[in-house]
Amino acid sequence: MAKKKAKKKKATKKKTAKKKKATKGTWTKDDLKLLKKLFSNNLTSEVAKALGRPYDAVKKKAARMGLRKSKSYMKKLGRG
């Protein structure tokens, strides 16, 4: 008797209509708006937490955008 080779079916993932998180490194318009709004008067770590991004990523992006901490915020920290 001849043996028949079983054909293997490839597993396919079902596509869902869920909105995916932005891919690594991609900043959405909403992310940028929130960064601009929060950065000047909040701890960078708190801004990073709100955006769901690493501290260094937020710090670097803010620097590239020319964002700075406000004078009143720096004074409150005792640095101004």
Over residues 9-36, the pLDDT tens digits come to 666 666 655 555 555 679 999 999 999 9
Domains of the chain, by residue range, sit at 29-76
Under 8 Å between Cβ of 54 and 27: no
Tens-digit pLDDT profile for residues 33-43: 999 999 999 99
pLDDT digits (tens, 9 = 90+) for 53-77: 999 999 999 999 999 999 999 999 9
From 11, 6, 69, 15, select the one nearest 43 (Cα to Cα): 69
Give the model's pLDDT for residue 30.
96
Tally of helices (H runs) and strands (E runs) in the chain: 4, 0
Q: How far apart are CA 31 and CA 45, in angstroms?
A: 15
